[in-house]
Amino acid sequence: EDKVVQSPLSLVVHEGDTVTLNCSYEVTNFRSLLWYKQEKKAPTFLFMLTSSGIEKKSGRLSSILDKKELFSILNITATQTGDSAIYLCAARTTGNQFYFGTGTSLTVIP
Amino acid sequence: GAVVSQHPSWVICKSGTSVKIECRSLDFQATTMFWYRQFPKQSLMLMATSNEGSKATYEQGVEKDKFLINHASLTLSTLTVTSAHPEDSSFYICSASGGGNYGYTFGSGTRLTVV
């Protein structure tokens, strides 16, 4: 059964901390791994990872994919209260099917 | 805890027919459920917000007569795509909020293909 598992389910940190969010997948015909940030109601796209070992960065956020071990991590350094959100990952197949994890809820305390 | 089950995971239907997608919260009461549609370039578009026992609130540009949303109980919301056309082919995903510490939990999504 194809599935995507995220951990932890929720996380509470203080401003300035660094966090690592995990996403593991077991998906047939895997193509790419996507990360989203959801604030309020509408998720926004963060990264799409297709190749192993190549880190993608955007400001304080970075992500990397390991296609051998079937997982991805999302790192956030020097966290801010504005980083509080649900972080969602999804595995995309070559047939354009998406499998979503249930998300990690991040709360950053001032 | 906080599991949302979405069914079916994929469906193929003929043009003109209707398709129902279910979103269930398995271990919590979902007072609010959200329905999204995924467009190219990875973006998720919010279609509507439904609260148990009341009419759904649709986002601008979403046809409420075409995308019927029912949230009749605290654990079930359904999205019915009526008179489906090929342009309705997309990935639909729900999320549910039950308050407390659950935040938003996503279903696994439904791939709809209209032929």
**Amino acid B101: pLDDT:** 45
Distance from C-alpha of A3 to C-alpha of A73, rounded to nearest angstrom: 16
Total H helices, total E strands in chain B: 0, 11
Distance from C-alpha of B23 to C-alpha of B8, rounded to nearest angstrom: 9
**Amino acid B52: pLDDT:** 82
Distance from C-alpha of A85 to C-alpha of A93, rounded to nearest angstrom: 26
CB atoms within 10 A of CB A11: 17
Among residues 44-63 of chain B, which lie with CB inside 8 Å of chain A? 44-46, 49
Tens of pLDDT, residues B1-51? 567 889 998 999 999 999 999 999 888 888 888 899 976 655 677 899 888
Strand order, beta sheet including B19-25: B4-7, B19-25, B76-81, B67-73
Tens of pLDDT, residues B49-81? 888 888 899 988 999 999 999 988 889 999 999
Among residues 60-99 of chain B, which lie with CB inside 8 Å of chain A? 91, 93, 95
**Amino acid A74: pLDDT:** 98
Which SS3 state, helix, strand or coil, does residue B41 take?
A: coil
Q: Give, for all 110 residues of chain A, the pLDDT tens digit.
A: 788 899 998 999 999 999 999 999 999 999 889 898 987 656 777 888 999 999 999 999 999 999 999 999 999 999 999 999 989 998 887 865 667 787 898 999 99
Q: Does A99 touch chain B (CB under 8 A)?
A: yes
**Amino acid B99: pLDDT:** 54
Look up residue A12 and give its two tokens: 């509470």
Distance from C-alpha of B73 to C-alpha of B22, rounded to nearest angstrom: 12
**Amino acid B40: pLDDT:** 61
**Amino acid B65: pLDDT:** 94
Does the pLDDT value for residue B84 go beyond 50?
yes
Q: Which of B102, B108, B111, B112 to mutate to test the interface with A (most CBs of A within 10 A)?
A: B108
> Which of chain B's residues have a Cβ under 8 Å away from the Cβ of A9?
2
B7 close to B22: Cβ distance less than 8 angstroms: yes
Whether omega for the bond prior to residue B40 falls within 30 degrees of 0, making it cis, is no
DSSP A64-106: EEETTTTEEEEEE-S--GGG-EEEEEEEEETT--EEE---EEE
**Amino acid B60: pLDDT:** 85
**Amino acid B2: pLDDT:** 64
Which DSSP letter does residue B55 get? P
